Amino acid sequence: MSRRSGAAQATLSRRAPTPRSVHLTLVVADQIHLVRHGEVFNPDRVLYGRLPNFRLSDLGHRMARSAADDLLERKRPITALIASPLQRTQESAQPISQAFELLIRTDERVIEPSNLFEGTSLSARNSALRNPQHWPWLRNPFEPSWGEPYLSISARMYAAIESAWESTAEGDAAIVSHQLPIWTVHRALAGERLFHDPRKRRCSLSSITTLERRGDGFIEVGYADPAAGLQGLATDVGAV
C-alpha cells in the first residue's frame, strides 16, 4: 500500500468516527394539582371576572392555607408553582409558595374567562339577568355567547398544563386558577360536553383537582376539598 493511500485511510478514519448510541430521558412532572382560589371579599355581590383589586377575604386566606396544608400532608414534593395573574389567585398561591419555598410563576393561560356581565350585580333584586338589554347576551348558552368560548378555555388550560408538565424536572406542579377553567378541564378529560349548569360544579373554593399523565394525555386521579369545613361560612362562591 502506498504512503498516499495509507494517509488517505488515516484521514478518513479521523473524519468518520464510529457512531455511538445516545439515549435521552425526558424528565417531567409526576402530578399536576389544579388549585382553586379562596373566597373573595365581595360585599357588593359584583360579578368581578377579570376586574382588578378583588382580594381574598379573611376566610379566603384561611381556605388558601388549608389547600397548602393539604398539599404538605401528602408528602409529595411540589417543585413548580404557577398562578393566574389576578389578585385572588396570586394571594391564594402565597401559602403554597411559603410552604414549599417556591417562586410563583404567573401564566395568563390559567386566568378567569372574559365575561360580558363583568362588573354587574349578582344580587337577586338587581341581577343583570333581569335587564332586557342583556338578554341578547344569553342567546347561546352552549358556547357561551356572554363570554369566552368553552373550547377556548379548555385549549388554553390544556396548553398551560402541558407546559407545566414538560417544564417541571421532577416532583409535582401546582396551578392556582379559577372554578370555570378547572371545571372545564375536568369535563374535557372526562369526555363530557363542556356546556353545563354552573350550580352543579364540583370545584369548591380552595379545592384541589389532581391530574396525571397517561400516554399522550392526562387523566384526573383525585379531588380534595381541604376547606370543606369553611365552605358554609362563605358568602361569595363565585359560580358564573
pLDDT given at position 22: 42
Q: Which is more confidently placed, 4 or 86?
A: 86
Q: How many domains does the chain have?
A: 1
CATH classification at residue 138: 3.40.50.1240
Residue 33, H or E segment? strand 31-36
pLDDT given at position 129: 66
Confidence grade of residue 206 (pLDDT, cut at 50, 70, 90): very high
Mean pLDDT of 16-31: 56
Give a yes or no: residue 20 inside a domain.
Answer: no
Asked if residues 160 and 82 have their Cβ atoms less than 8 Å apart, the reply is: yes
Give a yes or no: residue 55 inside a domain.
Answer: yes
Give a yes or no: residue 18 inside a domain.
Answer: no
Length of the chain: 240
Q: Which is more confidently placed, 70 or 14?
A: 70
Q: What is the pLDDT of residues 88-133, one digit of tens each?
A: 999 999 999 999 999 999 999 999 999 998 988 866 555 666 777 7
**Three-state SS string across 90-142, please?**
HHHHHHHHHHHCCCEEECHHHCCCCECCCCCECCCCCCHHHCHHHHHHHCCCC
Task: Look at residue 232 and tell me whether its pLDDT is greater than 50.
Answer: yes
- CA dist., res. 159 & res. 154, Å (int): 9
pLDDT given at position 123: 65
Helix (H, G, I), strand (E, B) or coil at 156: helix
Give a yes or no: residue 48 inside a domain.
Answer: yes
Give a yes or no: residue 17 inside a domain.
Answer: no
pLDDT given at position 14: 45
Least confident of 8-17, 152-161, 206-215: 8-17
Residue 177 belongs to domain spanning: 26-231
Residue 51, amino acid: L
